[in-house]
Amino acid sequence: MKKISYIILLVALACWSWTARATAAEAATEKGSNPEFSVTPVVTYVDVSGNASKFREHWWMKDGISGGIERFELHQKFGKDGQFNVEGRGIYNQRDYDVRMELVKPDFGFLRLGFTQYPKYFENTGGYFAPFAGAPIASPFNSWDVLGRTPQLDIGKIYFDAGLTLPNLPKFTFGYEHQYKDGSKNLLEWGTVRGTIPAGPISPNGDTSKKIFPALKDIDERVDIFKLGVEHTIGPVNLGDDFYFEKYGNETVRSDDSTHYLADGTMKTVDIKEDYYHDLFSNVFHVDHHVNDKVYWSAGYLFTHMSGNSDFAETTYGSLGGLGAALPGDAMYLIPRINLRQESQVGNLSVMVGPFADLTGYAGAQVEATDTDADLSGNYGTRAAPSLRYYSTGLSKRATEETAGLRYTRIPYTTLFAEAKWNQQSYGQQVERTASTSDWGVDADVNRQQYTAGFNTSPWARVTFSSQYRYSRNDNVYYTRYNPSADYASFIRDQEFVTDEITSKLTYRPFNRVSLALKYQLVSTSIDNTTEPVQFTGTTSLHAFDYYANIYSLNATWTPINRLYLTGLFSYQDTTSTAYDNGSNIVVPYKGGVYSAIGSAGYAIDNKTDATAEYSYSRSDNYDNNGFGTTAGTDYGIPYGISYDLQGLTFKLTRRINDHIVVGLRYGFYKYNEANTGDINDYTAHLASASCTIRF
Amino acid sequence: MVAIVAVSIFAFSCATIDRVVVAPPMIPGAKYVGMETCGTCHEKALKDFKTTFHARISIPDPKGKREGVGCESCHGAGSLHVEAGGGRGKFIINPMKNPEVCFQCHIDKQAEFNMPYHHPVKEGRMSCQDCHNPHGEDIKLAKGKFVNRNNENCSQCHREQTRPHVFEHAALREGCTTCHAVHGSINSKMLVQRDTNLCLKCHAQAPSAAPPAIQIDTGGTHNARLSQGSCMSAGCHTAIHGSNANAHLRY
């Protein structure tokens, strides 16, 4: 990837050379300008004690020493309005690169190319079950460190865009983009850790299994994208057509379900290898027309076609074969070929009129038809006892969506607005399987409504108040053709989602140097289901879910003196999620508070030296120990929620040595405490960094 | 210790200075010039502004006396940018590079990005504009691959999760936000709930057996399974975004 950075920099150098010559040629007419260049080398050291993988995931940076170019920029104007810009960063030990080059001459065209990559880190721990913590095992059972694997995913793209934008002629654009994700990530599909809890006050006891063993997925995803566009303006009418082609491939291996026996350290794992590829092309034609100052309309049509294939293999390894002794075991779900196709057409029409007497209205409609079908054949048994199956599936979607809104501004310094959205969807699903007596599937009708109304007002220049109410309702009706001899189908007959949401915000500037903002949100969601009872004796309704949240946010900015500013944010959200539990202890409400606080300050120590400090704090207290108790024989679930304190503090000093050099020193302190996981996820970290910005 | 350092810095820097520091995202020394001035160069952007959803909530200024409305409410006071003859990043705020601008109004979102699991916006790897178009229209324009279809934003990066499957999870019809808090969450994978509540809110079933029991379809009571872990994290219904092998979304 370093080579790509160098190639882009070489191209940038060539372009800069050309623009510099153009600038020199134009110097006599004073159209050009001198280039502006800055570069900031940096070196950083991060020391972590505790769970380093958790630190990496939280703060998106790796511990240890790293260095490179924190930022570089080159800007040069040429000609009447031409611009040449290069900017980016390159922190080599962090695998963090960003190089962007842009050459723009508005009445001629543009060229943009770049490369960007950043790592996404994942913690390598799974879940935690306190009664297992004292088990006599040699290494931490809840970490992939036992297998020497630390998940990290490099996410990046290389892109190129060019356009011809000559006046009064159609504008052409062409682009290519290569996106990738490479590495591994953690999963929440945790495997079994099995241990024996002695008889005593804790229930469950005896031979007990909890799904807390971590899981990983190796990913090699690549996307190649080609884009071609043409756009032309004829009077007040804009016409355009965009062609898009995407070649996608993703090869993955999930190290998924496992069983880890605490007693002797043996384990077995299940690897799922899945490769998937598709080609997708789409074409969008669009037109929009400013008829006059009060009427604007647009319309478009999309056609997209996708054709893909996949394979799938699940293999069980090391059945009780001992830690690290991964032996090929049995295989099932061996599907060498899966074919998928999808075709979609979308059309839309929108219009905006006004303002007429300070009233502006808009409305739009969109229709969609999408058809997906697939077929596969494979071994759903074992190698010893194969069970061959063939599936053929089809899913059709027909959807319409309508939007209408109004904006009224007659009242001084006030806006009133209202909007309504409606969406109707119809699904037809068909599944055929060999060796079954009949097909099965689930058809569905979906009706969605959303209404929003609110206002913004500023009766005094220093006060702004806004508020809005939103009501959303989804009604899903399912028509199931159930075939017990074939396979699963949905038991849900009807679902009704209702959400009420109120948002209000007050902004107040009591003095020129003080600004305050207060925001409050109330969100309430309920879900009601009508389902088949287990024995299929008739439908029954139940109240399936309630969600309730109050969210308070306060922001303040204060500049007490010219050389000092202070900003602060505090937010608290109080949420409760309650699912239908039918009297079982296994499911308990998920509730608690989440606190966030951010503070920053900037201070000019003298004419050349600045100090800045930032502090962030996040806390949650919604842990519920539902994994075990002291009532013998009672079923318990798993521990819910999380209780943690996360803090980050950075302090930075910058000093301007002269007009060309600025040096900076930065110190960071990070601390995380997770009370509900026996301290296995805690860490404390220190960061020290030095940088020097050189400008020409 | 911090207090001592702060007081010392303050005490030793009592000399008068001629600089002004401002809280981000303000532009030191810049004054408001008004939207019409912006339109001198950015004619199309100004013309399109009235079609945006930000225009819907912007407060009209019939007397033209209020400062910082329209373009400058997000891009900062423009006088120095105008004096410099324009140019990318020249005394002008680009919200694509500095989410602080968006956080001035969306303060609750800033708090969400402060949670342990979040998209890397404050780290500078992403910007609000990667998912939201601040110049986006209230009326739908037919642009882009998916033309405002469901999950369009997420699928630009998360193709693996949003692509078609042989056996789909109907939850994706409701949208990614049914399960994920897309700005930030206290839960891994940015889940809105990290337990059985997440699944049972749709999959709760009326029982035929006496409580206590969590029964799902012909699978009978799920008590023994759910006591070990939640539906997808217990290693059972692991293909949570859809499966190419199993109708139950196993594997």
Q: Residue B10 domain-assigned?
A: no
Predicted confidence band of residue B247 (pLDDT cuts 50, 70, 90): confident
Residue A662: pLDDT above 80? yes
Query: Among all residues of chain B, which has the CA nearest to that of A185?
Result: B189
CA angle A477, A483, A488 (to 5 degrees): 70
The enclosing H or E element of B173 equals helix B171-174
pLDDT tens for each residue of A126-142:
888 888 876 543 344 55
Location of structure tokens 């949401």: A501
Q: Residue B83 domain-assigned?
A: yes
Rounded to whole angstroms, how far apart are CA atoms A383 and A396?
Answer: 36
Three-state secondary-structure class, residue A688: strand
Is the backbone peptide bond immediately before A459 cis, with ω within 30 degrees of 0? Answer: no
β-pairing, A661-674 vs A96-105, is unpaired
Q: Residue B41 domain-assigned?
A: yes
Q: What is the ipTM of this complex?
A: 0.91
Query: Among all residues of chain B, which has the CA nearest to that of A447?
Result: B174
pLDDT of residue A47: 97
pLDDT tens for each residue of A319-354:
544 334 444 445 567 899 999 999 999 998 989 898
Rounded to whole angstroms, how far apart are CA atoms A524 and A501?
Answer: 6
Nearest-CB residue to B88 (from A75, A118, A541): A75
Verify whether the Cβ–Cβ distance A474 to B115 is below 8 Å: no
Rounded to whole angstroms, how far apart are CA atoms A232 and B191?
Answer: 44
Q: Which of A240-249, A367-376, A624-633 has the lowest mean pLDDT?
A: A624-633
Residue A14: pLDDT above 70? no
Q: Are residues B33 and B105 in the same domain?
A: yes
Q: How many structural domains are present in chain B? A: 2
Q: Among residues B78, B105, B139, which one ends one of the domains? A: B139
Mean pLDDT of A631-655: 87
Residue A9: pLDDT above 60? no
Residue A20: pLDDT above 60? no
8 Å CB contact between A253 and A272: yes
Rounded to whole angstroms, how far apart are CA atoms A297 and A295?
Answer: 7
Query: Among all residues of chain B, which has the CA nearest to that of A253?
Result: B251
Is the backbone peptide bond immediately before A589 cis, with ω within 30 degrees of 0? Answer: no
Residue type at A511 in one-letter notation: F
Q: Among residues B105, B139, B173, which one ends one of the domains? A: B139
Nearest-CB residue to A604 (from B21, B103, B194): B21
Q: Which residue has the higher pLDDT, B176 or A271?
A: B176
Predicted confidence band of residue A416 (pLDDT cuts 50, 70, 90): very high
Q: Are residues B127 and B170 in the same domain?
A: no
Verify whether the Cβ–Cβ distance B145 to A505 is below 8 Å: no
Q: Which of A567-581, A660-674, B149-163 has the lowest mean pLDDT?
A: B149-163
pLDDT of residue A492: 82
Query: Which of B215, B244, B248 should one mutate to test binding to chain A, selecting the residue with the greatest count of A CBs within 10 A?
Result: B244
Q: Residue B7 domain-assigned?
A: no
pLDDT tens for each residue of A644-660:
999 999 999 999 999 99
CB of B44 within 8 Å of a chain A CB? The answer is: no
CB pairs under 8 A between A and B: 417
Query: Which of B19, B54, B109, B138 should one mutate to test binding to chain A, selecting the residue with the greatest count of A CBs within 10 A?
Result: B138
pLDDT tens for each residue of A192-210:
888 888 777 777 778 888 8
Q: Which of A159-173, B48-62, B141-155 has the lowest mean pLDDT?
A: B141-155
Q: Are residues B173 and B134 in the same domain?
A: no
Is the backbone peptide bond immediately before B60 cis, with ω within 30 degrees of 0? Answer: no
Predicted confidence band of residue A355 (pLDDT cuts 50, 70, 90): confident
pLDDT of residue B149: 55
Q: Are residues B103 and B166 in the same domain?
A: no
Residue B34: pLDDT above 80? yes
Q: Are residues B101 and B170 in the same domain?
A: no
Residues of B in contact with A210 (CB under 8 A): 228-229
pLDDT of residue A480: 81
Query: Among all residues of chain B, which has the CA nearest to that of A120?
Result: B120
Q: Among residues B89, B109, B139, which one ends one of the domains? A: B139
Alpha carbon separation from A14 to A78, A184, A554, B49 (Å, rounded): 15, 37, 50, 37
Q: Residue B16 domain-assigned?
A: no
| Averaged pLDDT of chain A | 86
Location of structure tokens 């010893």: A384
Q: Are residues B176 and B202 in the same domain?
A: yes
pLDDT of residue A21: 59
Rounded to whole angstroms, how far apart are CA atoms A312 and A231?
Answer: 43
pLDDT of residue B138: 57
Rounded to whole angstroms, how far apart are CA atoms A37 and A87?
Answer: 10
Q: Which of A36-40, A501-505, A528-532, B103-107 has the lowest mean pLDDT?
A: A528-532
Predicted confidence band of residue A539 (pLDDT cuts 50, 70, 90): low
Specify which of A74-78, A620-624, B240-244 reaches the highest per-range mean pLDDT: B240-244
Q: Residue B120 domain-assigned?
A: yes
Nearest-CB residue to A286 (from B115, B142, B196): B142
pLDDT tens for each residue of A362-399:
898 999 999 999 999 998 877 777 888 889 999 999 99
Q: Are residues B58 and B128 in the same domain?
A: yes
Q: Residue B132 domain-assigned?
A: yes
Q: Residue B6 domain-assigned?
A: no
Residue A535: pLDDT above 80? no
Q: Are residues B134 and B168 in the same domain?
A: no
Residues of A in contact with B19 (CB under 8 A): 562-563, 604, 607
Q: Are residues B133 and B48 in the same domain?
A: yes
Predicted confidence band of residue A536 (pLDDT cuts 50, 70, 90): very low
Residues of B in contact with A533 (CB under 8 A): 205-208
Predicted confidence band of residue A533 (pLDDT cuts 50, 70, 90): low
Mean pLDDT of B119-141: 81
CB of B4 within 8 Å of a chain A CB? The answer is: no
pLDDT tens for each residue of B48-107:
777 777 877 777 776 666 777 788 888 888 889 998 888 777 888 888 888 888 998 899
Location of structure tokens 């806390």: A619
Rounded to whole angstroms, how far apart are CA atoms B201 and B233?
Answer: 16
Nearest-CB residue to B140 (from A306, A364, A517): A364
Specify which of A6-15, A144-153, A487-496, B8-17 reaches the highest per-range mean pLDDT: A487-496
Q: Are residues B190 and B114 in the same domain?
A: no
Residues of B in contact with A607 (CB under 8 A): 17-19
- Domain coverage including residue B125: 21-139
Residue type at A54 in one-letter notation: K
Q: Which residue has the higher pLDDT, B146 or A296?
A: A296
Q: Are residues B158 and B77 in the same domain?
A: no
Q: Are residues B101 and B180 in the same domain?
A: no
CB of B164 within 8 Å of a chain A CB? The answer is: yes
